[in-house]
């Protein structure tokens, strides 16, 4: 079974990835949750369990790195295969209000 290279949790066992940001060509973006992928994700979601069909996170949660259903926040294509260069996972603590 696949494992996320960043949070080191197994696909389909962890409810969400703990790495909530990604740096793309020098700019940091918040990663989009599963519903943000729109139709393509909805077709792939398991209707019974409401988890991502590929990486297994709960609906509405951030995908694991390596999931083919995560959308790139920069160009809108699938992050795993889009044309953006210099994509680096970023782990940032939530800032206190
Ligand atoms: Zn996923
Ligand atoms: Zn992960
Ligand atoms: Zn992209």
CB 53 within 8 Å of CB 63: no
CB 12 within 8 Å of CB 51: yes
Q: How many A from CA of 56 to the centre of ligand 1?
A: 6
pTM: 0.80
**Tens-place pLDDT, residues 2-52:** 899 999 999 999 999 999 999 999 999 999 776 555 555 555 554 555 788
Residues with CB under 5 A from ligand 1 (ion): 52, 54-55, 63, 67, 69
Torsion on CA atoms 21, 82, 70, 13, rounded to nearest 10: -90
| Spatial CB neighbours of 1, under 8 Å, sequence gap ≥ 6 | 10, 11, 12
User: Where are the chain's structural domains?
Assistant: 1-97
Residue 93: predicted pLDDT: 66
Residue 38: predicted pLDDT: 52
Q: CB count, 10 Å around CB of 45?
A: 19
Alpha helices (H) along the chain: 39-44
């Amino acid at each position: 079974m696949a494992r996320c290279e960043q949070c080191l949790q197994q696909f389909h066992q962890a409810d969400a990835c703990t790495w909530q940001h990604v740096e793309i060509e020098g700019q940091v973006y918040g990663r989009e949750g599963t519903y943000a992928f729109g139709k393509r994700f909805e077709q792939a979601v398991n209707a019974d369990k409401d988890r991502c069909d590929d990486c297994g996170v709960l609906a509405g949660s951030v995908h694991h790195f390596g999931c083919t259903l995560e959308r790139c926040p920069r160009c809108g294509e699938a992050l795993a295969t889009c044309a953006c260069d210099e994509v680096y996972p970023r782990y940032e603590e939530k800032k206190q209000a």
